Structure 1
Amino acid sequence: MPPLSRALLPAALLLPLAAAAEERPAPLAALEAQGLTVHGRFAAPGGLDGYAASANGQAMTVFVTADGEHAVVGNLVDAEGNNLSAAPLERLVHGPQDAETWASLADSAWILDGRDDAERIVYVFTDPNCPYCRQFFQAARPWVEAGEVQLRHVMVGILERDSPRLAISLLAADDPSAALAAHEAGTPVEPLDALPRRWELALQENHTLMERLGLVATPGLVYRVDDRLRTAQGMPSEERLAEILGPRP
């Protein structure tokens, strides 16, 4: 595999203290100088040292030879063709990244839809002018009303000129959950004349989070399958709906 291109890699991120204290083999240090971020080290067969890393949001493994003079970027397979890179990447890169993303979603400006003790949580990037958001809201009623799924509507305003005002009006309502339910049932929220600065900033942060997740359409759905984060955009098919919300009650 050719060396990582400087043009394709961002500036190097700060490393965890433990990783930074470790002296890097020269090839790995060279890759870090090009923007590679090392998340952790792991044991590898054949005298190799394995490193879980990422660049431009893409996870990868780097294997350094025993003499410390050369490195190979890519997956390592055994004699049966098993990918020996998958487990370290899951443990050292994907797992922590998913946990960080889930925490960011929890800290975003969202409107509760469902019971607090629901077993499954789904985040929904919702625009007040989105017909597919309304369709998803109605389609999810059996799961929500059965107490099996809690939807957290991360409000955004991206579709129409008045979308930001409507989104903020819903977030700032005395009872946001009731206001959103009425809005999606056909009784539009009354837009505020003066928008609270707090909610303007929160809406912008929601937009930034949506962009960071690579979502460009609403509803933008973020959910978990086997402890891994998954995303979907637009109104899901019946099959995808079951994956997102679980078996129909």
Structure 2
Amino acid sequence: MAAEQPAPHYLPASTAATFENAPAIVEGALGKNVKSTIYVFMDPNCIFCHYAWKAFQPYEAVGLQVHWIPMGFLKPDSPGKAAALLQAQDGPALMRELEMKFSEKDESGGIKPLEKVPSATQTKLSGNAKMFRDFGFDGTPTIIYMTSGGRWADVSGLPPLNSLPTMLNLPEQPITDPSLQRFH
């Protein structure tokens, strides 16, 4: 039996500029190759964010661009890891390392946290967390996407994999990762 499609929660169009300009790590398709863009509030130690990252990889290959909006609240080292992502010379490369070395057993992102978060970076992280709260979101990942009808919507948590083509406005891609099979 297929998992149910999540019911979208619609956001006012006026809020788009807020999350579109959030400090983020941009991963996936670039330039004219972008066919769909989503925004994801995440914590570096969130296992469901990790699963979302894995699920989005095949879609990134066919035109998905993901703006990962980091926050740091789940574990004591979450803020340092989120700061490391924002400070990285190559944010997408560090994001990939975070996920490729993610410990599912310990639910821990696979990068070293910054020991001291610079105040400018802390301001960005605090702004992301405030935006998350102001929107009324309550869990990570929270995925913001444009519906086929042209409205911004969000879903909290990892949606069923069979809902991704509709959410992302992209053709279905095979997802064969064994850790994701329970989300089909």
**TM-score normalised per structure 1:** 0.58
Amino acid at match of 1:134: H
Q: Show the counterpart of 2:25.
A: 111
1:202 aligns with 2:124: yes
Q: Is the 8 A contact 1:168 1:200 kept in 2?
A: yes
Q: Show the counterpart of 2:157.
A: 234
Q: Is the 8 A contact 1:142 1:248 kept in 2?
A: no
From 109, 129, 134, the counterpart of 2:45:
129
The structure with the largest alpha-carbon Rg is 1
What's the % identity of the aligned pairs?
Answer: 27
Runs of 4+ in structure 1 off by over 2 angstroms are: none
Shift of 1:174: 1.6
Instruction: Give ranges in structure 2 of 5+ residues lacking alignment.
Output: 1-9, 103-109, 174-184
Amino acid at match of 2:172: R
Q: Show the counterpart of 2:68.
A: 153
The structure in which a higher percent of residues are helix is: 2
Q: Show the counterpart of 1:218.
A: 140
**How big is the alpha-carbon RMSD for the aligned residues of Structure 1 and Structure 2?**
1.6
Q: Show the counterpart of 2:172.
A: 248
The structure in which a higher percent of residues are strand is: 1
Task: After TM superposition, list the pairs within 5 Å mapping 1:37-52 onto structure 2.
Answer: none
1:165 aligns with 2:87: no
Shift of 1:238: 2.1
Q: Is the 8 A contact 2:80 2:116 kept in 1?
A: no
Shift of 1:177: 0.8
Farther-moved stretch of structure 1 (200-209 vs 234-243): 234-243
Q: Show the counterpart of 2:182.
A: none
Shift of 1:172: 0.6
Q: Is the 8 A contact 1:222 1:232 kept in 2?
A: yes
Amino acid at match of 1:180: M
Instruction: Give ranges in structure 1 of 5+ residues lacking alignment.
Output: 1-93
Deviations along 1:66-125, one digit per CA (max 9) or x if unpaired, are xxxxxxxxxxxxxxxxxxxxxxxxxxxx99x31x31111121110011122312110001
- 2:98 and 2:135 mapped to 1: Cα distance? 26
Q: Show the counterpart of 1:179.
A: 94
- 2:67 and 2:136 mapped to 1: Cα distance? 18
Deviations along 1:165-208, one digit per CA (max 9) or x if unpaired, are 11011111121110011111116222222212111000011011
- 1:240 and 1:232 mapped to 2: Cα distance? 11
Shift of 1:247: 2.2
- 2:166 and 2:131 mapped to 1: Cα distance? 23
- 2:64 and 2:130 mapped to 1: Cα distance? 26
SS at match of 2:83: helix
What is the aligned length?
153
**TM-score normalised per structure 2:** 0.78
- 2:55 and 2:134 mapped to 1: Cα distance? 27
Task: After TM superposition, list the pairs within 5 Å mapping 1:87-102 onto structure 2.
Answer: 97-98=12-13, 100-102=14-16
Q: Is the 8 A contact 1:170 1:179 kept in 2?
A: yes
